[in-house]
């Protein structure tokens, strides 16, 4: 639920909402390391493609490449079950990293701080997928940012929704 603040005269209100959901394929194998506190951290690249039809009628693609970082138990899970080319759905927030290069130039880039992820694809896409493949990763006990809600599991393909109403079957899905 999203609430809106209505400013009164003289109030300065800065709206803020930082949430990103992205699905794509890993551009490189995840690199797992540990902080001095022994907290696991994994870094990986993600590529997401947007297809569209240009004015000339030709199909075109734009690819967005983004670096991602995840901490805690989720970092270890990503490192264990994913490698270059595998699909993943991530949820998190955009953050700006700033540093000074060796030549003294100031540098910056945006990165996704991954708070949650889901396996996507089919079980046959990987030989070492955990049980429950296709569902969200198990909750982490690490110090997250308060985002610990887990989505309900996806409906089964039995053709019956939880509320008794007939749902889509494998024949109803166009892909």
* Domains of the chain as residue ranges with CATH: 20-125 (2.40.50.140)
Q: What is the pLDDT of residue 108?
A: 94
Q: What is the pLDDT of residue 7?
A: 62
The residues of the chain scoring below 70 in pLDDT are 1-11, 122-175
**Beta carbons within 8 Å of 170's beta carbon, 6+ residues apart:** 157
CA distance 76 to 51: 32
Asked whether 147 and 139 are in contact (CB, 8 A), the reply is no
Q: What is the pLDDT of residue 57?
A: 92
Q: What is the pLDDT of residue 91?
A: 97
């Amino acid at each position: 639920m999203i609430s809106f603040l209505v400013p009164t005269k003289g109030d300065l209100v800065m709206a803020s909402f930082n949430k990103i959901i992205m699905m794509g394929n890993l551009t490189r194998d995840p690199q797992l390391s540990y902080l001095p506190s022994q907290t696991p951290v994994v870094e990986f690249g993600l590529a997401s493609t947007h297809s569209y039809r240009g004015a000339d009628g030709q199909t075109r693609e734009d690819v967005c490449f983004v670096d991602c970082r995840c901490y805690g138990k989720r970092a270890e899970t990503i490192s264990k079950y994913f490698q270059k080319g595998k699909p993943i759905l991530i949820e998190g927030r955009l953050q700006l990293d700033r540093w000074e290069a060796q030549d003294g130039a100031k540098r910056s880039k945006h990165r996704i701080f991954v708070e949650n992820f889901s396996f996507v694809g089919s079980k046959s896409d990987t030989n070492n997928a955990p049980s429950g493949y296709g569902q969200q990763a198990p909750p982490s006990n690490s110090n997250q940012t308060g985002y610990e809600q887990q989505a309900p599991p996806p409906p089964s393909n039995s053709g019956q929704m939880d509320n008794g109403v007939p749902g889509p079957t494998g024949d109803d899905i166009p892909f």
